[in-house]
């Protein structure tokens, strides 16, 4: 991807005052490069590259000009940036929950534990543009008064973890991390830490437990991390892409970021496109881009086949049949109107040869395998659901199983400590809702309607 | 007893946390010792716990909770194939079949020469490169075909 040619495009922003026309970088494939600003450069991950593109200038400006926290938070609110980790919570609002005056260490945590099937965007940020994440975190730390930060990285992407650690060393060396930055009294230390194969650690309180060296079992909320986080101290947790958006927002203003998107969905966003497309990969596009355009960027459906279904935001978002997504736009409201949600922007594309029964079996296995086991409905329910679907795939299903699956899933949902319970129920409910005849056929014939096996 | 190199690496990790929070380094300490010794025996977990000054059970809980720690020997090369949805849609089953057929072992079994072990993995957050696998938790191989798998095995066999 890094070899793509650059063209610079300018776009008039309706309401940005100072910077009347923010320069929005795009590339020839039509990507809008905000969090992947360095993508067209030769050594995208290097400090020199990032500095050449104006990197760390915002951190320096905010710190040396002593810009006040409420002013920064206000820009983030204006930007309409919503948390990119999946829940879509407004980032500016979250920042305003951190206690302003607190006698002790406050922490900043970045969630790079992406392991929701179909999600691989944060990996590209840490391997192609790590410094923008570091600058975004340093700006957040300055704003929130956090002294120490951790970036918790999915253990499976070890080579990328090492790239990020190298970037941290570079940033420290250059004086962008550490004590008394730019001669001010602002100090910030940032470290990389890692998971080691547990999806549940993507949940923020499980992640905090893991940072503390424990098994990743989510905590009851409240208290929320803003009051009781890492080592029991006030902690702000954001996703990688959320933090990486901050330097751009500081440079061009919140309004310019909001204007990249549509009402209620500010900015551009990384969409991870996987499955049955010609060119799987990450595509950074403006919120509100039509699904059809994104599919076209990804080369369309592979092998000249037809689109059957899409999971638009990772398996914790409802599957959509082709007809439901074809005219949808890729933003929070657009996808929710069309019957699903944006999640982490993890678009899993399925062509007309896909057996939905077997696909659901694999997803149910995943949630069963990754349940941390604390809550009975989740632990028992996910196992039960998986065994029923396995039974159907083995040709031993009964018609009643479909209602049983629906009932069971409804009973997991909303009765658990964390959202993994709801996430596990979503594929079951939505697959059966939209593809019921396929399930019925499988039960009646003991084989798939699609592949005959 | 931990080796001097392991201790040096663990100290680097400990420096990331407050002095009175040594347990926080258990994730990386277990990783470091596993890489050095090939897998985590009970003794290895105990060594880590002792060095950090935490209860053995606390270290064991972590070692058994996270999938990438190996509490059984896994041979010289542990090959973990992601079989989750995005990989499955692009043929991970075929990759698994090919590996199992070529090496003559199923999931979680070690080849007779002690060289290879195949594991089923969950999503590695690299689904754009599907189908894929990683070797010994560190080296990712993406956009796999059966030919690429053969080439990889050949290379590892030399090593
Ligand atoms: C089961 C589960 C898995 C999650 N996985 C991730 C993840 O991999 N990355 C992430 O950023 N957020 C994940 N989240 C959401 C986090 O709990 C949290 O909301 C998020 O990191 C906050 O950052 P944001 O507001 O910037 O999105 C997950 C939540 C649940 C319930
Ligand atoms: S819902 Fe499932 S994963 Fe979440 S805390 Fe309960 S048992 Fe653990
Ligand atoms: S589904 Fe295989 S890496 Fe994500």
Per-residue pLDDT reduced to its tens digit, A36-76: 999 889 999 999 999 999 999 999 999 999 999 999 999 99
Question: Cα(A334) to centroid of ligand 1, in Å?
Answer: 21
How many Å apart are CA A112 and CA A155, to the nearest integer? Answer: 10
Say yes or no to pLDDT of A20 above 70: no
Domain boundaries, chain B: 4-65, 77-158
How many Å apart are CA A43 and CA A129, to the nearest integer? Answer: 10
Which is the closest atom of ligand 2 to the Cα of A374? 7
Residues of B in contact with A157 (CB under 8 A): 124-126, 140
Nearest-CA residue for ligand 1 atom 11 is A85
Which is the closest atom of ligand 2 to the Cα of A371? 3
User: Containing H/E element for B7?
Assistant: helix B4-14
pLDDT bracket for residue A10 (50, 70, 90): very low
Cα A382 to Cα A359, A365, A387, A438, distances in angstroms: 16, 8, 9, 22
Calculate mean pLDDT across residues A311-328.
97
Q: Are A107 and A151 in contact (CB under 8 A)?
A: no
How many Å apart are CA A112 and CA A130, to the nearest integer? Answer: 12
- Give the model's pLDDT for residue A15: 39
User: Is the distance from the beta carbon of residue B88 to the nearest atom of ligand 3 less than 6 Å?
Assistant: no
The string over A303-330, giving b where at least 16 C-beta atoms fall within 10 Å of a residue's C-beta and e elsewhere, is eeeebbbbbbbbbbbbbbbbebbeebbb
Burial class of A293 by CB neighbour count within 10 A (0 to 12, 13 to 18, 19+): middle
Chain B residue nearest residue A1, CA to CA: B128
The yes/no answer on whether domain B4-65 falls in CATH 3.40.630.10 is no
Nearest-CA residue for ligand 2 atom 6 is A375
Residues of A in contact with B62 (CB under 8 A): 213-215
Residue B156 Cα to chain centre, angstroms: 16
Mutate to test the pocket of ligand 2, among A198, A202, A209, A217 (most ligand atoms within 8 A of CB): A217
- Parallel, antiparallel, or unpaired for β A107-112 and A148-153? parallel
Per-residue pLDDT reduced to its tens digit, A216-227: 999 999 999 999
Per-residue pLDDT reduced to its tens digit, A389-416: 999 999 999 999 999 999 999 999 888 9
- Give the model's pLDDT for residue A118: 97
pLDDT bracket for residue A18 (50, 70, 90): very low
Say yes or no to pLDDT of A33 above 90: no
Angle between helices A400-412 and A420-445 (to 10 degrees): 180
Both tokens assigned to B14: 């400990």
User: Containing H/E element for B87?
Assistant: helix B85-89
Say yes or no to pLDDT of A11 above 50: no
Calculate mean pLDDT across residues A303-322.
97
Both tokens assigned to A333: 């409201």
Instruction: Evaluate whether B4-65 and B77-158 have a shared fold.
Output: no
- Give the model's pLDDT for residue A415: 86
Question: Cα(A237) to centroid of ligand 1, in Å?
Answer: 9
What are the beta bridge partners of residue A27? A6
Select from A406, A389, A407, A419 the least CA-distant residue to A116.
Answer: A419
How many Å apart are CA A250 and CA B9, to the nearest integer? Answer: 37
Both tokens assigned to A218: 């989510």
A115 closest CB neighbour out of B24, B65, B123: B123
Both tokens assigned to A153: 């990285």
Say yes or no to pLDDT of B135 above 80: yes
- Give the model's pLDDT for residue A24: 66
Q: Are B111 and B72 in contact (CB under 8 A)?
A: no
The yes/no answer on whether domain B77-158 falls in CATH 3.40.50.11540 is no
Q: What is the 3-state secondary structure (H, E, C) of chain A?
A: CCCCCEEEEECCCCCCCCCCCCEEEEECCCCECCCCCCCCCCCCCCHHHHHHCCCCHHHHHHHHCCCCHHHHHHHHHHCCCECCCCCCCEHHHHHHCCCCCCCCCCEEEEEECCCCCCCCHHHHHHHHCHHHHHHHHHHHHHHHCCCEEEEEECCCCHHHHHHHHHHHHHHHHCCCCECCHHHCCCCEEEEEEECCCCHHHHCHHHHHHHHCCCCCCCCCCCCCCCCCCHHHCCEEEEEHHHHHHHHHHHHHCHHHHHHHCECCECCEEEEEEEECECCCEEEEEECCEEHHHHHHHCCCEHHHCCEEEEECCCCCCCCEEHHHHCCCEECHHHHHHCCCCCCCCEEEEEECCCCHHHHHHHHHHHHHHHCCCCCHHHHHHHHHHHHHHHHHHCCCCCCHHHHHHHHHHHHHCCCCCCCHHHHHHHHHHHHHHHHHHHHHHHHHHCCCCCCCC
Say yes or no to pLDDT of A25 above 80: no
Which ligand is nearest the CA of B127, by number? 3
Flag the least confident range among A5-19, A95-109, B60-74, B97-111: A5-19
Both tokens assigned to A281: 């990969």
Is the model more confident about A22 or about A388?
A388
Say yes or no to pLDDT of A12 above 50: no
Calculate mean pLDDT across residues A316-331.
97
CB of A206 within 8 Å of a chain B CB? The answer is: no
- Give the model's pLDDT for residue A32: 79
With an 8 Å Cβ cutoff, are B26 and A213 in contact? yes
Mean pLDDT of chain A, nearest integer: 93
Say yes or no to pLDDT of A4 above 60: no
Percent of chain A with pLDDT over 70: 94
Quick count: other Cβ atoms within 10 Å of Cβ A384?
18
Cα-atom radius of gyration of chain B, to the nearest Å? 17
Which residues have CB under 8 Å from B112's CB, separation 6+? Answer: none
With an 8 Å Cβ cutoff, are A359 and B134 in contact? no
Q: Which of A85, A196, A201, A212 to mutate to test the interface with B (most CBs of B within 10 A)?
A: A196
Percent of chain A with pLDDT over 90: 91
Both tokens assigned to A383: 């196992």
With an 8 Å Cβ cutoff, are A213 and B27 in contact? yes
Per-residue pLDDT reduced to its tens digit, A153-187: 999 999 999 999 999 999 999 999 999 999 999 99
Quick count: other Cβ atoms within 10 Å of Cβ A151?
27
Per-residue pLDDT reduced to its tens digit, A384-395: 999 999 999 999
Sole residue written with tokens 């959509």: A320
Angle between helices A240-252 and A57-64 (to 10 degrees): 70
Say yes or no to pLDDT of A2 above 80: no
User: Is the distance from the beta carbon of residue B127 to the nearest atom of ligand 3 less than 6 Å?
Assistant: yes
Chain B residue nearest residue A272, CA to CA: B128
Burial class of B19 by CB neighbour count within 10 A (0 to 12, 13 to 18, 19+): exposed
Mutate to test the pocket of ligand 1, among A111, A155, A200, A368 (most ligand atoms within 8 A of CB): A111
How many Å apart are CA B82 and CA B124, to the nearest integer? Answer: 7
- Give the model's pLDDT for residue A191: 98
Angle between helices B42-52 and B56-65 (to 10 degrees): 120
Cα-atom radius of gyration of chain A, to the nearest Å? 22
Sole residue written with tokens 């990759």: B95
- State pTM to two decimals: 0.95
Mapped onto helix, strand or coil, the DSSP state of residue B108 is coil
Mutate to test the pocket of ligand 1, among A76, A84, A86 (most ligand atoms within 8 A of CB): A86
Q: Are A213 and B24 in contact (CB under 8 A)?
A: yes
Per-residue pLDDT reduced to its tens digit, B4-50: 999 999 999 999 999 999 999 999 999 999 999 999 999 999 999 99
> C-alpha angle A161/A162/A166, rounded to 5°?
120
């Amino acid at each position: 991807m890094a070899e793509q040619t650059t063209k610079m495009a300018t776009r008039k922003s309706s309401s940005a005052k100072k910077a009347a026309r923010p320069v929005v970088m795009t590339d020839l494939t039509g990507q809008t490069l905000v969090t992947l600003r360095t993508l067209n450069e030769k050594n995208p991950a290097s400090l020199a590259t990032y500095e050449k593109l104006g990197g760390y200038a915002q951190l320096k400006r905010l710190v040396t000009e002593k810009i006040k926290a409420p002013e920064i938070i206000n820009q983030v609110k204006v930007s309409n940036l919503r948390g990119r980790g999946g829940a879509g919570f407004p980032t500016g609002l979250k920042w305003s929950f951190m206690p302003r005056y607190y006698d002790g260490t406050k922490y900043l945590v970045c969630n790079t534990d992406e392991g929701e099937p179909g999600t691989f965007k944060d990996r590209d940020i840490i391997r192609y543009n790590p410094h923008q994440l570091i600058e975004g975190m340093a700006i957040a730390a300055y704003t929130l008064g956090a002294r120490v930060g951790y970036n918790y990285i999915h253990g499976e992407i070890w080579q990328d973890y090492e790239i990020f650690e190298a970037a941290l060393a570079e940033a420290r060396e250059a004086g962008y991390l550490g004590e008394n930055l730019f001669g001010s009294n602002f100090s910030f230390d940032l470290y990389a830490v890692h998971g080691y194969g547990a999806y549940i650690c993507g949940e923020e309180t499980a992640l905090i437990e893991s940072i503390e060296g424990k098994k990743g079992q989510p905590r009851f909320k409240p208290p929320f991390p803003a009051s009781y986080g890492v080592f029991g101290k006030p902690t702000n947790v954001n996703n990688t892409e959320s933090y990486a958006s901050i330097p751009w927002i500081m440079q061009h203003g919140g309004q310019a970021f909001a204007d990249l998107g549509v009402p209620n969905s500010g900015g551009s966003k990384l969409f991870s496109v996987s499955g049955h497309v010609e060119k799987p990969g990450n595509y950074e596009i403006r919120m509100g881009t039509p699904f059809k355009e994104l599919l076209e960027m990804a080369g369309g459906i592979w092998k000249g086949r037809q689109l059957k279904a899409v999971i638009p935001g990772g398996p914790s978002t409802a599957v959509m049949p082709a007809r439901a997504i074809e005219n949808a736009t890729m933003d929070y409201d657009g996808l929710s109107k069309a019957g699903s949600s944006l999640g982490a922007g993890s678009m899993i594309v399925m062509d007309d040869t896909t057996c939905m029964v077997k696909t659901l079996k694999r997803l149910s296995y995943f949630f069963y395998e990754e349940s941390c086991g604390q809550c009975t409905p989740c632990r028992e329910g996910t196992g039960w659901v998986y065994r029923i679907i396995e039974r159907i795939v083995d040709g031993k299903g009964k018609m009643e199983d479909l209602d049983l699956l629906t009932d069971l899933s409804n009973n997991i949902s909303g009765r658990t400590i964390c959202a993994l319970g709801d996430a596990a129920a979503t594929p079951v409910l939505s697959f059966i809702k939209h593809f019921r005849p396929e399930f019925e056929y499988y039960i009646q014939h003991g084989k798939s309607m699609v592949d005959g096996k | 007893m931990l080796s001097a190199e392991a201790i040096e690496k663990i100290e680097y990790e400990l420096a990331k946390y407050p002095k009175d929070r040594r347990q926080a380094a258990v994730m990386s300490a277990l990783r470091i010792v596993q890489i050095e010794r090939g897998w985590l025996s009970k003794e290895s977990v105990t060594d880590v716990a002792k060095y950090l000054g935490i209860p053995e059970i606390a270290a064991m809980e972590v070692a058994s909770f996270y999938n990438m720690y190996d509490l059984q020997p896994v041979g010289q090369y542990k090959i973990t194939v992601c079989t989750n949805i995005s990989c499955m849609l692009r043929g991970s089953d075929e990759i698994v079949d090919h590996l199992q057929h070529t090496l003559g072992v199923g999931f979680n079994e070690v080849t007779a020469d002690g060289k290879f072990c195949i594991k089923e993995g969950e999503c590695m957050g690299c689904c754009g490169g599907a189908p894929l696998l990683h070797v010994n938790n560190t080296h990712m191989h993406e956009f796999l075909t059966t030919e690429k798998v053969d080439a990889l095995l050949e290379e590892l066999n030399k090593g």
